[in-house]
Structure formats: structure tokens, C-alpha cells
Amino acid sequence: QKEVEQDPGPLSVPEGAIVSLNCTYSNSAFQYFMWYRQYSRKGPELLMYTYSSGNKEDGRFTAQVDKSSKYISLFIRDSQPSDSATYLCAMSDMSTNAGKSTFGDGTTLTVKP
């Protein structure tokens, strides 16, 4: 069983919809939780990072972490065609640098005009 599970999708939504992306994990030592966006043939771009449990909002993006359930989410409001990409969740524990993270397999999102 993988340490981080992420539904690969693909997920297709109409423009303006609210998108919910999720990951579950098994390692209770994870303290830092990140979401990356990756366009085709490009490197991942850090979108959000959250330390421990709670919510964090940045514009149209909201990240939620529920450590008791070992479940994290990324919500995208008013989705745009430019949001079409693969979204990767990543996690690390406090003893390692953020770069040495465990990644989910990514969810491919398509926002249709």
C-alpha cells in the first residue's frame, strides 16, 4: 500500500465549477502538506502548503488538512480553463527538508469552457 493515495482521475468539470481534490495518507509523522500544479511537460509549481491541521486560503484555492482522518483536500473555486493541469499532493515529516516529500500520483483536471 502506498503511503500517499490520490485518485488519478481524470476529472472534468465545466468552467466556474468548484473542484475538490483529495489525498489520503498513512504516515502519522507527516506534518507538512503541499499541493503542486504541473502542466504538461513542465516542472511542478508549488500552489499551497500547510503545516499540521487546519485550513489555508489563497485566492481561489483553499487547502484543508485533517490529520485525525489523515486526509487533505484542495478546493478550487470558480475554476478556469487555465486550471487544467495535473495536481500533485505531497507530504513530509519535520525531520526532512520539504523537498524530500512523498508525492501522490497526481489528479488530472480538465476545466471545459
Partner 1 sequence: GAVVSQHPSRVICKSGTSVKIECRSLDFQATTMFWYRQFPKQSLMLMATSNEGSKATYEQGVEKDKFLINHASLTLSTLTVTSAHPEDSSFYICSASKGTEAFFGQGTRLTVV
Q: Is 103 in the site for partner 1 (CB under 8 A)?
A: yes
SS in 3 state form for the chain? Answer: CCCEEECCCCEEEECCCCEEEEEEECCCCEEEEEEEEECCCCCCEEEEEEECCEEEEECCEEEEEECCCCEEEEEECCCCHHHCEEEEEEEEECCCCCCCCEECCCEEEEEEC
Number of residues counted as binding partner 1 (CB under 8 A):
22
Q: Residues 51 to 70: which contact partner 1 by CB under 8 A?
A: 51
Q: Which stretch binds partner 1 (CB under 8 A): 11-19, 44-52, 57-65, 66-74?
A: 44-52
Stretch binding partner 1 (CB under 8 A), from 22-30, 58-66, 73-81, 92-100: 92-100
Positions touching partner 1 (CB under 8 A) are 8, 32, 34, 36, 41-46, 49, 51, 88, 97-101, 103-106
